[in-house]
Structure 1
Amino acid sequence: MSGKPAAAGRTRFWDRPWFLLLPAPLFWSGNFVLGRAVADAVPPVALAFWRWTLGALILLPFALPHLRRDLTVMRRHWKIIVLLTVPGIAVFNTFAYIGLGHTTALNGVMIQSSMPVMIVGMSFLFFRDTVTPVQALGIAVSLTGAMTLVSRGDPAALANLHLNAGDLWILAACVAYAAYTALLRRRPGVHGFSFIVVTFLLGAAMLLPFMVWEGLSGRPLQLTLTSVAAIGYVAVFPSILAYIAFNRAVLLLGANRTGLSIHLIPVFGSILAMLFLGERPQWFHAAGIALIAAGVVLATRHPRLSNTQ
């Protein structure tokens, strides 16, 4: 008897996509800031490799019962699993970490804010999904809100941004993750833990030779408090918790609607800056958050969308 309410609570949470939309942008906002902060101390490929390896090892004990049931299905669908692993695990964060070593966190967040539009484009390219005019307006309004936060209400700040090699790495990373998000509907029907652990381990295996090359080229990973703390954070929060929640939301809402949650990254970044850095609330915080909220409501107002599963 005592276990039923807790189980029911977990089920209700697992089936409420609007709650599932929150963890990924919250933890990914920290991921971009941290990736920039430790760029000189932690090699990018090593950070990505150990992120996925540690994340898989942490989750493995919880995933084992499901893996025993799901391995046969996953072997049968190995091609789509590899196809999802390359852009979503091996490429996205590795490219982002490389890029953050050569550009600012502001540029990184600005480029990442374009990802919902990329997801819509990928969904159309792969599956001919379309959006209604109202949904397109919602995406545009939400993007405007994200740019308001990123620019701190100063359009000139965006006009003065100059793309460099680091920005191109991040742009390529965002294209890769947009493809991953759109293709998630093709993942085999296995438990989320099984899918996460297998793709994390497969992604780490893909990165291993590049990490060895990185170390031999003069950038070996140094085990310091900074590097261990950074790997611990990215393994648990933007990896395990964010990917589980985001992938589940895509299954429930579809790629296009879930992708809009990425516009919450500058929202959470602004809130974290107020809480931990002493930044004072400004008019652009309220304007940006209001525009993002209005855009999400517009883009998700119709229960039947062409991109839902």
Structure 2
Amino acid sequence: MPYLLLALAALFWSGNFVLGRAFHAELPPVGLAFWRWAAALAILAPLALPRLRRAWPALRAARGRIAALALLGVAGFNTFVYLGLQSTTTVNALLINATVPVLIVPLAWLSGIERPGPRPLAGALVSLAGVAWIMARGDPAALARLDVHAGDAWILLAAFCWAAYSLLLRRLPPGLDPLAFLLAIVALGVAVLAPLYLAEHLGGRAFPLTRASAAVVGYVALFASVLAFVCWNHGIRAVGAARGGLFMHLMPVFGTVLAVLFLHERLHRYHLLGMLGVAAGIALATSRPRGRRKEEQAP
């Protein structure tokens, strides 16, 4: 079940990247981030408020980590992604974002939060090779020809934020209510984004109120925010950041499938080979050594 939840989170976030780039000219980045999380807060409030009183002691005890997670995962990551998509392509953004599992491994070692074994590391490298193969369209030399934009730096900063967010999830109290936790970090994230949104609005980039903008906010609030974060938080706390973070590599795969289904793009052989590489890397990282499996099955 944790692996299914992680895959669903990657699927929902793939749509977020596609929409963020598709509407980058119409929707200002901070405004999109702010309304995304404001709408998510409205969705969460009736579900999570009744749980907040019971979860308050645990939230208060972990308030420093809660604040850090709000800054990294809510206010930071998504805003940096939308800023990056203003000037870089979806292809570049997804490729850079796919480095999250690779970034998690050294951060885990340096922080001491996790001690990833050789299998998660090997799986991350195999899966990353599959992602790169898709982005290069089956031509490794094409990676050197990818255009580098200023927005790439924002996406890389977002990737570091998400790697750190995923690691910090493991430091939360084990009995903390997931909806109360999500409500807390979303509320803090909205509070951080509010003055930045006001500054962007006063600077001349007002957020348009149209059917298209409402539809985009509705998707990113419900699917890419509430549902994806619930799935991701549960999955990472169950299997760890080094192993679970590898599911970020599914985003370019899902992005390709969505493009074929909805944008009528063609499916090529390099897509299939790259998807096999991603699947092989995830299988390698999530599998247990045969000896350990026998030990766990022994009475």
TM over 0.5: yes
Q: Which residue of 1 aligns with 2:149?
A: 164
Q: Is 1:268 matched up with 2:227?
A: no
- Tell me the CA shift for residue 218 of structure 1: 0.7
Q: Which moved more, 1:268-277 or 1:233-242?
A: 268-277
- Calculate the aligned-residue CA RMSD, in Å: 1.4
Between the aligned partners of 1:135 and 1:207, the Cα distance in structure 2 is: 35
Aligned to 1:51, which of 10, 28, 36? 36
- Output the CA distance in 2 between the equivalents of 1:247 and 1:80: 14
Which structure 2 residue ranges, 5 or more long, are not aligned? 293-299
Aligned length: 289
Q: Which of 220, 224, 227 lines up with 2:213 in the alignment?
A: 227
CA distance in 2, matches of 1:257, 1:137: 11
Fraction of identical pairs, as percent:
47
Aligned to 1:238: 224
Contact 1:41 1:226 survives alignment (8 Å):
no
Q: Which moved more, 1:106-115 or 1:131-140?
A: 131-140
- Corresponding position of 1:90: 75
2:295 match = none
Displacement of 1:164: 2.2
Which amino acid is the alignment partner of residue 302 of structure 1?
R
Deviation of 1:128 (Å)? 5.8
- Please show how residues 52-131 of structure 1 align to structure 2 within 5 Å: 52-127=37-112, 129-131=114-116
Distance 2:200 2:68 in 1: 24
**Counterpart residue number, 1:27:** 12
TM-superposed deviation, 1:132: 3.1
How far 1:87 moved relative to its partner?
0.8
Report the Cα distance in structure 2 between the residues aligned to 1:43 and 1:141, rounded to whole angstroms.
36
What amino acid maps onto 2:242 in structure 1?
Answer: N
8 Å contact from structure 1 (residues 20, 249) kept in 2 = yes
Match of 1:146 in 2: 131
State the Cα distance separating 1:135 from its structure 2 match: 3.1
> Which secondary structure state, in structure 2, belongs to the residue aligned with residue 163 of structure 1?
coil
Q: Which residue of 1 aligns with 2:268?
A: 282
Aligned residues of 1:56 and 1:196 also touching (Cα < 8 A): no
Whether the 8 Å contact between 2:109 and 2:116 is mirrored in structure 1 is no
Alpha-carbon offset, residue 220 of structure 1: 1.3
How far 1:107 moved relative to its partner?
A: 0.7
1-structure distance, mates of 2:113, 2:56: 31
CA–CA distance in 2 between the matches of 1:47 and 1:239? 12
Match of 1:194 in 2: 180
Length-normalised TM-score, structure 1: 0.90
Q: Which runs of 5+ in 1 are unaligned?
A: 1-15, 305-309
CA distance in 2, matches of 1:119, 1:155: 25
Q: Give secondary structure in 2 for the equivalent of 1:21.
A: helix
Q: Which secondary structure state, in structure 2, belongs to the residue aligned with residue 206 of structure 1? A: helix
C-alpha distance in 2 between matches for 1:64 and 1:151: 47
In the TM superposition, what are the counterparts of 1:3-18 in structure 2 within 5 Å? 16-18=1-3
Q: What TM-score comes out, normalization by structure 2 length? A: 0.93
Q: CA deviation at 1:293?
A: 0.9
Where does residue 241 of structure 2 map in the other structure? 255
What SS class does the counterpart of residue 4 from structure 2 fall into? Answer: helix
